[in-house]
């Protein structure tokens, strides 16, 4: 065989690996598109990327979770899903190249990914049944078949006929025809995938329509016990200080929901049951609204908030006092001899929370909230109903999209984050934050207003102090207190002299406890230490 014959036989040898890799990517894309379509029909939470990301979050050690929240903030879930897509794309490329030589093995590889997706789907706490495996399974079958087919178009079927009698040109006409078929099949696959994906997206979008309508049609009753007006002096008028009431769109969001649950309020039910529940109850949303509604300002804090961090916000909530409902069911707190010391709340997405029954029933305004700052709860914040308990970190109390309350004991059950090394009991730690000046600011010498917020929910803030470098503590001016369940603003007019200096804040709560200087990480029960800011006075 001559050199020129070799070249003629495999005119596309150099492009074959690239086309194989390309086939892998097309097959992967088709698999995801089909999965998207099927998940639009099953439920959006069952999509392969969503379940794999969710399963990853479930298995993420607390330290990695904190790291992700710190570095990506509320984008942590987006970053995770993009990461999964990148990994999938790399494997798709590799499987495509592999399939050139081992066609069945390549396709089997695609099926293996489907199996991983299906396994992740059934491992999720919010799975609704085996149907959750369908998006991954269907996607993988289509992807595997497509890869098999596409790579088939790229195969060289033995040596081309040569020698006497072989028609001129026959040697490269066949590869050319195969290339044409490949291009046709690939284009058709891409087009079909785009269509399937778009249809899936549309289905997913429409799945929340009833929920959106139920939220839009909701007329909030006036609260039987309105919140007193926020005192005018609660808001320090200094640029850069957080607004006393956090607008809903600025309110921090922390949850594991990769797809925000869209619950139809008209179909929503809440079940209250368990140990010591003499009269178990199932409530509809209307049942809930017919009960006494109270309106309260309550500041919510996340246990993942670092010292000086942003995961704290204050809102005006309307809801039903949880203690009233529990009493209606015949529940007694442990101090009155009740057998249950833990209230476990469960959300529609399978998240679980454990709050001390004693705290919920001790007279504080623990709420089943239906409204946030004058409107129905936003979907991101738990529509139609969530829990809010003053003085407890969110992960042990603030169940969004709640659907079930079970009375049990701390000995008998560990909720989601407790099985992941976070503390069983987690009252909010006394904290304070400097909002202005910002770190590394360069204010002018003279009077510099230092201001911020301090919180010790349900205990209240009695004092805030500021110090410059290692100097003495100076008492800051406290803004008016709204309630002891809300944060409190403060300000301090600092006579700043030139140079680099460190400002440090500390708060004292109403029990007299001074915010500790001892630094602790967020795991297991919340960060401690004092917030400081370095500024250079010009
Ligand atoms: N269903 C559900 N509810 C949840 C969570 C969650 O992951 N799932 N996260 C909790 C945590 S850790 C906090 S701090 C608060 C935050 O409430 P927000 O997102 O409305 O600010 O919600 C809580 N409720
Ligand atoms: Mo949290």
Report if residue 272 sits inside a domain.
yes
Specify the pLDDT at position 157.
Answer: 54
Q: What pLDDT was estimated at residue 168?
A: 47
For residue 362, give the CATH number of its domain.
3.90.420.10
Instruction: Check pocket membership of 462 for ligand 1, CB cut-off 6 A.
Output: no
In the three-class reduction of DSSP (H, G, I as helix; E, B as strand; rest coil), residue 423 is classed as coil
Is residue 299 classed as helix, strand or coil in its secondary structure?
strand
Ion ligand 2: residues, CB within 5 A, are: 254, 302, 394-395
List, in sequence order, every residue forming a beta bridge with 432; answer none if it has no partner.
454
- Whether residue 212 is contained in a domain is answered as no
**262 with 410, same domain?**
yes
What is residue 57's predicted lDDT score, i.e. its pLDDT?
87
Question: Do residue 165 and residue 16 come from a single domain?
Answer: yes
With beta carbons less than 8 A apart as the criterion, state whether 25 and 86 touch. no
Of 172, 190, 207, which closes a domain?
207
Q: Is 57 in the pocket of ligand 1 (CB under 6 A)?
A: no
Domain that holds residue 352: 232-420
Query: Is-cis flag, bond preceding 437, omega within 30?
Result: yes
Q: Are residues 358 and 284 in the same domain?
A: yes
Residues 31, 159 within the same domain = yes
What's the token pair of residue 342?
């833990």
List of residues 6+ apart from 6 with CB closer than 8 A: none
User: Does any domain span residue 479?
Assistant: yes
Query: Which whole-number Å values give the CA distances from 54 to 58, 78, 400, 478, in the listed order?
Result: 6, 12, 17, 43
384 and 488 in a common domain? no
Give me the number of domains the chain comprises.
3
186 with 244, same domain: the answer is no
Cα 332 to ligand 2 centroid, rounded to whole Å: 28
pTM of full prediction above 0.85 = yes
Q: Supply the pLDDT for residue 372.
A: 98
Query: In this structure, are 479 and 347 located in the same domain?
Result: no
In-domain check, residue 224: no
CA distance 511 to 118: 52
- Quick check: 522 and 303 in contact, CB under 8 A? yes
Q: Could you tell me the two tokens for 174?
A: 């066949």
DSSP label at 234? G
Ligand 1, atom 24: nearest CA belongs to which residue? Answer: 399
Question: What span, in angstroms and rounded, lies between the C-alpha atoms of 400 and 136?
Answer: 28
387 is a domain residue? yes
DSSP output for 449-477: EEEEEEE-TTT-EEEEEEEETTS--EEPE
Same domain for 179 and 319: no
Strand ranges, E, within 87-216: none
Give 10-residue mean pLDDT values along the chain (538 residues). Answer: 45 79 96 95 91 89 76 80 93 95 96 96 89 96 96 69 47 69 93 94 85 96 97 97 98 91 96 98 98 98 96 98 98 98 96 98 98 98 98 98 98 95 96 98 97 98 98 98 98 97 98 98 96 97
What's the confidence (pLDDT) of residue 10?
53
* Residue 187 φ/ψ, nearest 5 degrees: -65, -45
Identify the domain boundary among 389, 420, 451. Answer: 420
Give the Cα separation of 68 and 12 in Å (integer): 45
Two structure tokens written together for 66:
């904190």
Tell me how far apart the alpha carbons of residues 393 and 159 are, in angstroms, rounded to a whole number: 72
d(CA 189, CA 29): 9
Q: What is the dihedral of CA 340, 343, 349, 351, to 10 degrees?
A: -100
Residue 177 CA to ligand 1 center (angstroms) comes to 58
Q: How far apart are CA 449 and CA 441, in angstroms?
A: 12
My answer on whether 404 and 444 are in the same domain is no
Instruction: Kindly give the pairing relationship between strand 488-496 and strand 446-455.
Output: antiparallel
Cα–Cα dist 453/430, whole Å: 11
What single-letter DSSP state applies at residue 528? B
Q: Which atom of ligand 1 lies closest to the CA of 401?
A: 1
Question: How is residue 495 written in tokens?
Answer: 């006579």
Question: CA 34 to CA 261: how far, in whole Å?
Answer: 22
Domain shared by 363 and 450, yes or no: no
Same domain, 413 and 500: no
Q: Is residue 333 part of a domain?
A: yes
Enter the tokens of residue 499. Answer: 């140079």
> Are 224 and 292 in contact, with CB atoms under 8 Å apart?
yes
Chosen domain end from 420, 445, 460? 420
Task: Give Cα 230 distance to the centre of its chain.
Answer: 31
- Beta carbon of 399 within 6 Å of any ligand 1 atom: yes
Q: Whole-angstrom Cα distance, residue 31 to residue 49? A: 11
Domain assignment present for residue 525? The answer is: yes
Asked whether residue 521 falls in the same domain as residue 380, the answer is no
**Which residue's CA lies nearest to atom 16 of ligand 1?**
254
The pLDDT, as a whole number, for residue 162 is 52
In a domain, 328, yes or no: yes
CB 456 within 8 A of CB 506: no
What pLDDT does 78 receive?
A: 86
Residue 134 CA to ligand 2 centre (angstroms): 32
Strands laid side by side in the 461-468 sheet: 474-475, 461-468, 499-509, 532-537
d(CA 62, CA 84): 20
CATH number where 473 lies: 2.60.40.650
């Amino acid at each position: 065989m001559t050199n020129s014959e070799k070249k003629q036989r495999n005119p596309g040898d150099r492009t074959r690996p690239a086309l194989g890799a390309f086939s892998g990517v097309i097959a992967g894309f088709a698999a995801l598109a089909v999965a998207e379509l099927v998940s639009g029909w099953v439920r959006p939470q069952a999509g392969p990327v969503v379940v794999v990301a969710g399963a990853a979050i479930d298995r993420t050690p607390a330290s990695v979770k904190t790291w992700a929240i710190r570095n990506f903030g509320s984008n942590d879930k987006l970053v995770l899903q993009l990461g999964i897509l990148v990994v999938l794309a790399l494997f798709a490329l590799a499987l495509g190249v592999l399939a050139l030589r081992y066609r069945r093995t390549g396709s089997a590889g695609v099926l293996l990914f489907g199996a991983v997706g299906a396994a992740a789907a059934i491992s999720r706490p919010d799975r609704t049944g085996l149907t959750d495996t369908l998006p991954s399974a269907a996607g993988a079958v289509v992807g595997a078949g497509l890869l098999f087919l596409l790579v088939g178009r790229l195969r060289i079927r033995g040596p081309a006929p040569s020698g006497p009698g072989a028609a001129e040109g026959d040697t490269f006409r066949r590869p050319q025809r195969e290339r044409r078929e490949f291009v046709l099949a690939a284009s058709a696959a891409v087009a079909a995938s785009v269509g399937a994906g778009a249809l899936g997206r549309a289905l997913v979008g429409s799945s929340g329509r009833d929920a959106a309508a139920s939220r839009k049609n909701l007329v909030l009753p006036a609260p039987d016990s309105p919140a007193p007006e926020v005192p005018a002096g609660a808001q320090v008028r200094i640029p850069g200080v957080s607004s006393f009431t956090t607008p809903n769109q600025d309110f921090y969001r922390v949850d594991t929901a990769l797809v925000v649950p869209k619950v139809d309020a008209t179909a929503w039910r809440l079940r209250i049951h368990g140990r010591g529940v003499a009269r178990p109850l199932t409530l509809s949303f209307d049942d809930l609204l017919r009960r006494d509604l109270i309106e309260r300002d309550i500041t919510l804090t996340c246990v993942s908030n670092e010292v000086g961090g942003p995961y704290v916000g204050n809102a005006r909530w309307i809801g039903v006092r949880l203690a009233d409902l529990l009493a209606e069911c015949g529940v007694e707190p442990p101090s009155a001899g009740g057998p249950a010391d833990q209230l476990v709340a469960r959300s529609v997405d399978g998240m679980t929370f454990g709050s001390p029954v004693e705290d919920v029933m001790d007279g504080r305004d623990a709420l089943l909230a239906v409204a946030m700052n004058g409107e129905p709860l936003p979907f991101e914040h738990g529509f139609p109903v969530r829990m809010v308990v003053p003085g407890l970190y969110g992960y042990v109390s603030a169940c969004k999209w709640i659907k079930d309350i079970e009375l049990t004991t701390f000995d008998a059950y560990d909720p989601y984050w407790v099985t992941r090394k976070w503390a069983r009991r987690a009252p909010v730690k006394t904290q304070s934050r400097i909002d202005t000046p910002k770190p590394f600011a360069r204010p002018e010498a003279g009077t510099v207003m230092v201001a911020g917020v301090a919180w010790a929910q349900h205990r209240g803030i009695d004092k805030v102090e500021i110090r410059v470098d290692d100097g003495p503590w100076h008492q800051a001016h406290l803004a008016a207190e709204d309630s002891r369940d809300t944060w409190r603003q403060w300000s301090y007019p600092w006579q700043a002299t030139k140079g680099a200096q460190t400002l440090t804040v500390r708060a004292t709560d109403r029990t007299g406890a001074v915010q500790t200087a001892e630094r602790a990480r967020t795991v297991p029960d919340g960060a401690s230490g004092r917030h400081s800011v370095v500024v250079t006075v010009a």
